[in-house]
Structure 1
């Protein structure tokens, strides 16, 4: 969208190269908290639920707060500083958690770390919309989704082995070192927000020409005053959530689906320990979910084929044309969860490889739903995509933070098989969403205040159809 002007190809490549691993390790630090809680509870004489609340839920509740403030701030005042700010302070927070001993200090720092983690995850949709056309956004959004999801999967594996060999505090020391190194790469990126760049260019022209009659910006997305920011931008994600049916539906679906990762961090290892795995080796089962995540690459090629076919036919490309991942992913998730539910102990005794294979389906589906739904939001809401993503991320963080508090009770009370069946039923209900979006999505968007306004502005700016 702002290619060649906002960010040069070299700088953009460096920035994205640094940003993907940054997203990976920031998200890994959230799921790593579960393993840290399992050991830290003995040091602080806490029960398991309270330890999970301190090391996992508190982080995600902090992320909830971050999604309220930071994305609209980036839409109004730019994105570059937000990335550097979040990554640098996240490294410091990890180091502090490892060094301090009072539990009250750990709680405060964990909340701050959660707030900071919301920055790269929630504003990436806006950054990608700034820099790429809709065709390129397929791959850009996919790379970031892959990085985020693999981070969620890597967290339990890394933390299990670090804690087994060292100590739970070293878990945070190592994350601090990695994130600190990656922060240096983010210093090479440039600002991508069009409104901010246009305002800078206008100010530069005024300086070198001494002409003061140049309009402040030929851009609808102006930089507001602080009063305007407080009045409008902070409540925009809430407006989108409650007023936009697409945002509401996607928020509820993504929050439930992606909370499965946090459910697995609390239950997966114990399930496979029941068939003879050690605690550390049981964490390696998360690799099967990661394998499914990587297999999503093939669906992106299918996305590209569909868009290229439509372009050759001279047909306009709409956001609904990029929902193939949702169409495939929703039933795959239901199949994978039903398969897993009835091939695990105690009611069923099979080789560990049978339920492990079902998690490949689950990993593939999680990535497809995440990629397709966030991509759909980015294409549908354009300049409001960061706030739209914030509304989704708010619910995602809230649900993901709450479910670990009752996951063990749910699995012990209902049993592994029935507990997983409940999740499989929910995934089956979600299979209704793909046909609704595919057949009625355009009509819903046309009735939407924010989606319709974004597309009208795009037309006024003379968007070339070939860019789509």
Structure 2
């Protein structure tokens, strides 16, 4: 630890306050070199890609699992798939606050180690109950990267730099669910579904070893607490402390912040409730699509498991295009409306982009559903899925940015509200998907999905733009209150 700091005692303070050694202290992650920052971001991005891969990598294997464990219906196999999504959404509620108590890196590394162990346990499962249980625990552990990644990036980059950093960083986590089924398809066809889990464990283990040597703590208050501890020991003086702002929350406080406040905001804030419902539906449709897409190609188009899984690339392309379109257009549209408003910005200026691209969600669903129903050329269902991906991710980005700007003090809790709803939808939707498509077919099934998307997705950004400011003005959680 650096010893250049000259500790000082404010009048009446019983402690010597420990801070960074001025604005240029290289202990402060904001002052790290660009190479060091991007190395840390790249390693965390790899963690954040592997965990989402596990959420979807099993989809080509569901028929094999059903056969091996002699399951009577598709519901049990769909629970095997979706239970991970439920756990993956619940984990950050606790792991996020814990990262503020013990640091980002230790939470990430322990989470990754548990993920490796329970991925191996999934591969060794002898019955479906074991597989569901082990997969749930691996989902909780795998969510560690999701819990700390936004905070870790904010620890290193200023708000002015963060927009472009997040747009580049986010591609890995978005790519994971799309490429997972591709890898899973080839593994299942040429080996066994168990090796999907073993492969994940090996990849996560390698990344974890790399992280031990390359990833250092970035959370400022944690670094200052370690510095204060070092100074107390070195100088035999117990007065060195970081002050109340640097103290970690207690465990009850962490549980409150991680669970109670998000639920309270979801129940009392109309904006949070509406946007959580919108994101939950988009997330649910995404995982409905992920869980059934491979069956379309093997049953309807008579492709092999491995070749059929390659079609997931269309979703990856849609997410990629949507991410970069949103990153570029969002700030330009925001600046346009800000200039028209006399240079005064507003979170509602994020809504116009959502108004433009939200219709792509139902359009993509209809395009995909009816082209699949008619067994049209393989490119047409893929184009529909890509269109859905573009609309879905731009809507997601718009909602995320709006919430963080509208609720700056409680942004983490507000986003946690949407995470709870998303994880429930991601768990439930794949369970009823096979029965829905069996009864209605891809055409009318996706027409139903698109109709609900129209009712939820099209009015929401318009109403947000018109009435969001008034609703925020009545909220004790929002900016300026």
Same fold? TM cut 0.5: yes
How far did residue 85 of structure 1 move? 1.6
- Which residue does 1:241 correspond to in 2? 266
- Which residue does 1:23 correspond to in 2? 48
| Pick aligned residue for 2:35 from 4, 7, 10 | 10
| Pick aligned residue for 1:99 from 112, 124, 127 | 124
- Which residue does 1:379 correspond to in 2? 405
How far did residue 244 of structure 1 move? 2.7
- Which residue does 1:464 correspond to in 2? none
Give yes or no for contact 1:126–1:386 (8 Å, CA) kept in 2. no
Secondary structure of the corresponding residue to residue 377 of structure 2 = coil
Partner Cα distance (1:207, 1:315) in 2: 51
Q: Deviations over 1:137-177 (max 9, x none)?
A: 33333345432332111122211111001111111111111
- Which residue does 1:146 correspond to in 2? 171
Give yes or no for contact 2:71–2:77 (8 Å, CA) kept in 1. no
Alignment of 1:319 with 2:347, yes or no, is yes
Residues 50 and 425 (structure 1 numbering): CA distance in 2 closer, same or farther, change over 3 Å?
closer
How far did residue 408 of structure 1 move? 0.6
Partner Cα distance (1:15, 1:290) in 2: 24
Residues 413 and 229 (structure 1 numbering): CA distance in 2 closer, same or farther, change over 3 Å?
same
Farther off after superposition, 259-268 or 421-430: 259-268
Farther off after superposition, 256-265 or 402-411: 256-265
Residues 162 and 189 (structure 1 numbering): CA distance in 2 closer, same or farther, change over 3 Å?
same
Give yes or no for contact 1:124–1:386 (8 Å, CA) kept in 2. no
Give yes or no for contact 1:145–1:367 (8 Å, CA) kept in 2. no
- Which residue does 2:8 correspond to in 1? none
Partner Cα distance (2:256, 2:278) in 1: 29
Task: Give 1:43-442 correspondences, 5 Å limit.
Answer: 43-187=68-212, 188-201=214-227, 216-217=242-243, 219=245, 222-230=247-255, 233-272=258-297, 273-296=299-322, 297-306=324-333, 315-323=343-351, 325-345=353-373, 348=374, 350-382=376-408, 384-429=410-455, 430-442=457-469
Q: Deviations over 1:267-288 (max 9, x none)?
A: 3233344244334322222211
Secondary structure of the corresponding residue to residue 167 of structure 1 = coil
Partner Cα distance (1:349, 1:228) in 2: 55
- Which residue does 2:65 correspond to in 1? 40
Secondary structure of the corresponding residue to residue 451 of structure 1 = coil
Q: Deviations over 1:105-129 (max 9, x none)?
A: 3332111101112222244333344
Farther off after superposition, 301-310 or 152-161: 301-310
Partner Cα distance (1:229, 1:15) in 2: 26
What RMSD, in angstroms, separates the aligned Cα atoms of the two structures? 3.1
Farther off after superposition, 167-176 or 250-259: 250-259
Which is greater in Rg?
2
Give yes or no for contact 1:146–1:367 (8 Å, CA) kept in 2. no
Give yes or no for contact 1:34–1:266 (8 Å, CA) kept in 2. yes
How far did residue 132 of structure 1 move? 3.7
Equivalent residue pairs, number: 450
